[in-house]
Structures are given as C-alpha cells and as structure tokens.
Chain A
Amino acid sequence: MRYAPRRSGTPRWVLAAFIAALLGLSGARVALAGAVDPEGMADPVLQARYEVLIHELRCVQCENNSLADSDASVAADVRRQIRSMLQAGQSNEQIKAYLVSRYSEFILFKPETSWRNAWLWSLPGVLLVIGVLVAVRVIRQRATLIDNDDGDLSPP
C-alpha cells in the first residue's frame, strides 16, 4: 500500500459527477415519495394539517406504511376522505375519532393515552425503576466487597 499523494488520483470531475448523481437520486426519491399523493389541498393551513394526519395514520391494507407512504387504493380513498373532512371544517381529533370508530385504534401509529392503554405507557417507567433498583443493589454489594478487602493478595 502506498499512501503517497498521487497526481493522478480520482479526478475532481468524477467526484463531482458522483455527488451530483447521489443528489439527483435523492431528489428523484423525494419526487417519487411525493408522487404517491399528488393531490393536495389549496389552503396551506389545511395542507399542513393534512400532512400531519396522513403521517400519523396507518394504511389499513399495508400496515407498516403510513397513509402518506402508501399507494394502495384504499389509502388513496382514506386520504380523500380526510381531505373532504378537513374541508368540512372538522378538527384533527374528530377525523381521527371517526377513523378509529371504523378501523379501530389500530389505524393510529401512536396509541391513545387512555386508562385502557395505561399499562403500555407505564411500561418504560416500570422497567426503568426495576433497572435502577437492580443497579443500586449491585453497586451496594460491590461497595461492601471493597470494604471487606484487607488488601492481602497473597494466597492463604
């Protein structure tokens, strides 16, 4: 291996072309992602709410896609439904409640904070407390080990 700088290294223009191609590709991806949902809303305020909603709601057919990511026809239908409900002046909560009443809570990516879901939301906290308790015990034990150490390293 030689690490000496070489005059005839990768030409600048190749690098530039490579970077341009990468940028172009990512641009194309963004364009593709946008192409799933060409329909938008004329009102920018409603459009912003629409964007939030379609990212928070699941496509019911292709479960791990959001409505925004899915080109399934049922997702397009649900998006259309959301647009018409937004236009009719319904709140985000009303729209979500309607879809939950039809498709169950499953359609929400983020579970509701309700008593029914309390165990789900409290689980990380409970696990943290258990972890802290275990850590405290282990640290205490180690501390007593050091206290009892008489420093004699020679075998008995």
Chain B
Amino acid sequence: MKPRFLIPLGVFFGLVVVLAVGINHSRDVGVLKSPLVGHEIPDWELPVLTDPSKTLGSRELKGQWYVLNYWGAWCYACRVEHPTLLAAQREARVQIIGVDWVADNPDENAAALDLLARMGNPYRQVVVDRDGRTAIDLGVAAAPESFLVNPQGVIVYKEPGIITPESWQREFLSRLPPAPAHAGGS
C-alpha cells in the first residue's frame, strides 16, 4: 500500500507555507517600493514657500545630504510625523527640506505657513509643488513621503509613510555618516 494519505498532508503543509509567506508580507501590501531607490533623484527645482521668486533644487543641494519630505497642511498623517521631524531638526544630523504639496487645496500656502508657525518649523527650507508634477516625477503617491538623498544625489532610502522616532533611527540615521564626536547626542 502506497502512503497515499501523505498527499493531503503535503498539500496542507504547502498551503501553510504559502499562507505564512502571505501573512508575513501583509504589512507591505499597498506599500509601493520605489524603483528610484539606489538611483539619482530626478532633477527637481521648486519655488520657495516664503519667497516664490527664489527656487531651490536638486542641483543646488548636490554635495550635501538632505531629506526631502513631502507634506501638506491638509495632510493629517503629516501632523503625526511633525514632532519626529522637529526632534530630528534639533539633532541637526541632516537638513530636512519640506515640499508643500498643494494638491488642489485652495489656500494651501497660507495654511502651511500657519501650521509651521503654530507647531514649529523642522525644515531648513520649504518649497512648493503646485501642480504635482514633481511629485509624479519622484513617484510620490500619498503624503507624507520622504527621501534620503546622499551628496552624490542618489536616493539611498525612501520612507513611504510616516517617519516614527524608531524609523528615523533605523532607516535614516543609520545611513548617514557617523556624527562628529563633539555633536554629542545619542
């Protein structure tokens, strides 16, 4: 007699493996993995929020580490992230450039300035993406999203959602060059 009863058992364990892998990855469902990570950031140049006659762009920031953080005053999740960014700014390990994503909000710029005045400003500079063209070029799907860009202009990490104190440590600080000794901190 062949051990045919083993077949359903095998099928069962096969299913267990498939489902286990599925459950393990369920956290990633809906998280877009950016194809831009590991590549040079697409050229961007946007007007400065406080002075639209000036612009800031990727060329100007070449040679420096920076975090590019897409946010908007209309974005609730960005407010959740805000204290983490403020703490990061106090740490001063890397400059944070904010992009105010207008996204059809009629008085976004005024609302953004108001929010920064009330909650504090973690950004070295805030630029404005009015028509969302740069957001598409960077593959931004939903605010907040953040890019860590190295001095060569290469995106070394993309955070597809809210930065938490833990993910700031784990994903951003760990990729930066070590802090100078006199800077203290953690």
Q: Which residues of A contact B (CB under 8 A)?
A: 60-61, 63, 73-74, 76-78, 80-81, 99-104, 106
Q: Which 6 residue pairs of A and B lie closest in terms of their CB atoms, listed nearest first? A: A77-B132, A60-B141, A102-B139, A73-B103, A73-B104, A61-B142
CB closest residue in chain B, given A76: B104
Main secondary structure of the interface of B (DSSP, over half): loop
Q: Which residues of B contact A101 (CB under 8 A)?
A: 35-36
Q: How large is the interface on B (under 10, 10 to 19, 20 to 34, 35 or more residues)?
A: 20 to 34
Q: Contact: B32 with A103, CB < 8 Å?
A: yes
- Give B102's nearest chain A residue, CB to CB: A73
* Minimum CB–CB distance for A23 against chain B, Å: 33
Report the nearest A residue to B31, measured CB to CB: A106
User: A80-B132, A102-B139, A103-B35 known; 5 other A-B pairs, CB under 8 Å?
Assistant: A61-B141, A74-B140, A74-B141, A77-B103, A81-B136
In the bound complex, CA of A76 to CA of B133 (Å): 11
CB-nearest residue of chain B to A105? B35
A sample of 26 inter-chain contacts (CB < 8 A) reads: A60-B142, A61-B141, A63-B30, A73-B103, A73-B104, A74-B103, A74-B132, A74-B140, A74-B142, A77-B131, A77-B132, A77-B133, A78-B136, A80-B131, A80-B132, A81-B132, A81-B133, A101-B36, A102-B35, A102-B136, A102-B139, A103-B32, A103-B139, A103-B141, A104-B34, A106-B32
